[in-house]
Amino acid sequence: MPRGGRPLGPVGNFPGPAGLRLAHSGHSPGLGDRRSPAGLRHRTAPRFAHLRHRLSPGFHSADSRRPRPAPSRFGWLGHAPAPRGQGSHPLDRTTGPARGNADRPRPSRRPIHMNPWAEGMAVFGFGACVGSFLNVCILRWPLGLSIIRPASRCPACGLKIPGPLNLPVVGYFFLRGRARCCGAHLDPRYPVTEGLTALLFTALWFLYPSQLFLVYAVLASGLIVASGIDFDHLVIPDGLTLGGVVAGISLSYLLPELQDRADPTDAMIRSALSAAIGGGILYGLAKTASWLLQKEAMGTGDAKLLAALGAFLGWNSLPWILALSSLLGTTVGVAMLFQRKQKLGVKIPYGPYLALAALLWLLGGKSLLSKYLFNNSPLAALGS
């Protein structure tokens, strides 16, 4: 007996469709017969049988029958998409009932601005990593070795340097200038190259837009490698100089701002002419000096390097680079003679002074020259 003390009806003893079938047929076990006052014999229907009958899955009365929606392939949405041109989907946010306030203008997203100090630190770290790679290029390129493989090794014993000890700038000071594997002294030029590259990248990042920064960062990296190789071997590889000429002319076409032009073709022509002027001037000076001294005064690698600088920086940078590099080279050479660190007639590398003059042009010489020399002078027309 269930709760409440009320006995279940006959149909309640057979739940589900079986009980419903018994209720429809009028026969059920234990169903007693009752007589009406008129003496008519009838069977008593179970209590709430009509509710169970109406709630059955197969029941649809004539007054409550409704058309069923067409089956939809959109699952729980329960709506089939309307044919094109005959309405809209109920959940369409542009034309349907769910549009709401879609016509209201949306506020534009605020641009994400990074802290300048964080930007500078990120660029500094990136430049230090590039400087570590430039050290590998300076050491391996003249020897014809691969600059990719093998990994960095100790220059004294040849053992592989672990990654944590090969961090740019920091690793040298952590090891106190000595190799951990064999205790040999490490060249201080490694952290100097890494730190110089990092500082140059950071300065260029704050001085130029992002596209010009990438181009000038590549140029600065090439100048550092050319200076290191020229300082060690008194030679500059053609891959740096002639490759720099091709790269400068190509990038001037892709980025006319390098030559202060708007038309790509005009910028490319200007870059090619600047390369020819720079290389031709220094090549002519080298041949003239060699004829006067009756010996080789300057290699052709310096002329090719100046041609690459003209292709990147334009012809108006050539007077600055030639004058400043000659002044720097003469000053350093005379100082070394007085300190007896250099003998008269011994060759000195000229590539590092060309590179230094070009970097000073990028870091402020261009704006300085444009402000104080080109303005209000006949050179202003030529500079344009």
Separation between Cα atoms, residue 207 and residue 202, nearest integer Å? 9
> What's residue 248's pLDDT?
96
Lowest mean pLDDT of 40-54, 199-213, 240-254, name the range: 40-54
According to the 3-state scheme, what is the secondary structure of 81-111?
A: CCCCCCCCCCCCCCCCHHHCCCCCCCCCCCC
* Region of poorest pLDDT, from 51-55, 125-129, 266-270, 345-349: 51-55
Confidence (pLDDT) at 82: 52
380 or 207, which is more confident? Answer: 207
CA-to-CA distance for 282 and 273, rounded, in angstroms? Answer: 14
Say how far apart CA 359 and CA 216 lie, in whole Å: 9
pLDDT band at 348 (very low <50, low <70, confident <90, very high): confident
In this structure, of 115-124, 216-225, 260-269, 290-299, the range with the lowest mean pLDDT score is 290-299
First to last CA, the chain: 108
| Both tokens assigned to 170 | 């920091």
Q: Among residues of the chain, what percentage have pLDDT more than 70?
A: 65
**Residue of higher predicted confidence among 105 and 222:** 222
Q: Does residue 98 contact residue 90 with C-beta atoms inside 8 Å?
A: yes
> What pTM value is reported for the model?
0.67
Considering only the C-alpha atoms of the chain, give the largest distance between any 2 of them, rounded to a whole number of Å. 151
Residues 307 and 245 sit within 8 Å (Cβ to Cβ) = yes
Q: What is the model's pLDDT at position 74?
A: 46
Dihedral class, residue 316 (left if φ above 0, else alpha if ψ from -120 to 50, else beta): alpha
pLDDT at 78: 46
SS3 label, residue 43: strand
The three-state secondary structure class of 98 is helix
Cα(118)–Cα(115) distance, integer angstroms: 5
Look up residue 346 and give its two tokens: 């011994």
d(CA 308, CA 277): 11
- What DSSP character marks residue 342? S
pLDDT at 272: 96
Count, residues in the chain:
384
- pLDDT: which is higher, 239 or 22: 239
Asked whether 230 and 355 are in contact (CB, 8 A), the reply is no
- Two tokens at 97? 């009932």
137-167 confidence digits (pLDDT tens)? 999 999 888 888 888 887 777 778 777 778 8
Helical H segments across the chain, by residue range: 17-25, 49-54, 116-140, 170-174, 189-207, 210-233, 238-254, 264-293, 300-313, 318-338, 351-360, 366-369, 379-383
Query: Is the separation of the CB atoms in 286 and 303 below 8 Å?
Result: yes
What pLDDT does 90 receive? 52
Residue pair 89/82 in contact by the 8 Å Cβ criterion: yes
Binning pLDDT at 50, 70 and 90, where does residue 93 land?
low
Residue 64 neighbours by CB distance under 10 Å: 8
Q: What's residue 50's pLDDT? A: 52
pLDDT at 373: 58
Which residues 6+ apart lie within 8 Å of 215 measured at CB? 251, 255, 258, 312
What is the per-residue pLDDT for 86?
Answer: 52
Mean pLDDT of 27-53: 50
Q: Is the pLDDT of residue 21 over 50?
A: no
**How deeply is 370 buried, as exposed, middle or buried, from its count of CB atoms within 10 A (0-12, 13-18, 19+)?**
middle
Residue 182: closest CA among 152, 164, 155, 149 = 155
The pLDDT tens digits for 291-346 are: 888 877 788 899 999 999 999 999 999 999 999 999 999 898 888 878 766 666 67
* pLDDT tops 80 at residue 383: no
Q: Domain-by-domain residue ranges, the chain?
A: 116-207, 211-368
Mean pLDDT confidence for 358-383: 68
Strand partners, 42: 34
Helix, strand, or coil (residue 153): strand
pLDDT band at 379 (very low <50, low <70, confident <90, very high): very low
Q: Are 79 and 89 in contact (CB under 8 A)?
A: yes
